[in-house]
Amino acid sequence: MDRDLTFDADLAALAWQLELGADVALGETPVNRYDAAAPTAPAAPPAGAARPVATGPAPAAAPDTSDAVRAASEAAAQAPSLEALRGAMAAFEHCELKRGAKSLVFADGLPGARVMVVGEAPGRDEDIEGRPFVGRAGQLLDRMFAAIGLSRTAADPAQALYITNVMVWRPPQNREPTPDEVAMLLPFLQRHIALADPAVIVVMGNTPLSALLRAKGITRLRGQWAEALGKPVLPMLHPAYLLRNPAAKREAWADLLCLKARLRMNG
Ligand code: URA
């Protein structure tokens, strides 16, 4: 790197990195954090040298997700409380996302609230703060629910929200979680819902829609009540989608009114 760069040029280079989407500072030498104790790679053999013949054990097969799903199901079933469930997730070592994330983003709001919101996964802001939906999409989510009298800070379960995500660890670069990652955390989400015991679940976006309802196509299915785990579920457009497509706020408003009507009907 050119060490003679001026302060302004350094700043501009940094701004450009941010523009490109860089959100973490890296050292100049790569570090394999998945394998901290890995021996350094042997020097490449000189050109033309015979390739060494592998004599060690065969490379490990790709991890079998069914083991992870089984471990998650057992751990989740044994959690008698939300606090215990959080601890069980913190001790769960099968999900690689955990190694790249700063926080386990478990939930926010009032456990026992009438409405439980399930989003996709923490983003950068959520990973830093350790709470779901605190970035721009989260601020929009708060405004949306405030418009029908619901808030994550309310003390009365009838006006409160309880908020979580399918994934508790941030996927790198905010990529979509893979089906395997969703499958291994689903038993925890199911237990989370059973313990929080909301009257109604709102699923925001495609990831919780397919995790809980095994359905695809949030733009088609939004606003249509369904049922999961014995509870009514309302699929809604994700607030991040609404930030990108402000015209769709009309549909989101219709869904919020539909939620409000259902809550009023149920007393
Ligand atoms: N998007 C989500 O789905 N969840 C969050 O917590 C933040 C953004």
Tens of pLDDT along 21-31? 455 665 556 66
Structure confidence at residue 138 (pLDDT): 98
Residues with CB under 6 A from ligand 1: 119-123, 126, 132-133, 135, 137-138, 165, 240
**What strands lie across the sheet with 226-228, from one edge to the other?**
108-109, 161-165, 115-119, 200-204, 231-236, 226-228
Position 57 pLDDT exceeds 90: no
Rounded to whole angstroms, the Cα distance separating 258 from 13 reads: 48
Q: How far is CA 91 from CA 88, 111, 233, in A?
A: 5, 22, 29
Structure confidence at residue 36 (pLDDT): 53
Position 106 pLDDT exceeds 90: yes
Taking the model in full, what pTM does it have? 0.78
Ligand 1 centroid–CA 257 distance in Å is 22
Rounded to whole angstroms, the Cα distance separating 201 from 193 reads: 9
| Bigger pLDDT: 12 vs 181 | 181
Q: Are 104 and 90 in contact (CB under 8 A)?
A: yes
Structure confidence at residue 266 (pLDDT): 86
**What average pLDDT is seen over the chain?**
87
**Ligand 1 atom closest to residue 137's alpha carbon, by position in its atom list:** 8
Given phi > 0 = left and psi -120 to 50 = alpha, else beta, which region is 92? beta
Position 40 pLDDT exceeds 50: no
Pocket test for ligand 1, best of 120, 152, 162, 175 (most atoms within 8 A of CB): 120
Helices (H) and strands (E) in the chain, counts: 11, 6
Structure confidence at residue 39 (pLDDT): 45
**Ligand 1 atom closest to residue 165's alpha carbon, by position in its atom list:** 4
Helix or strand (DSSP H, E) at 247: none
- How does pLDDT run across 152-211, given as a tens digit for each residue? 999 999 999 999 999 999 999 999 999 999 999 999 999 999 999 999 999 999 999 999
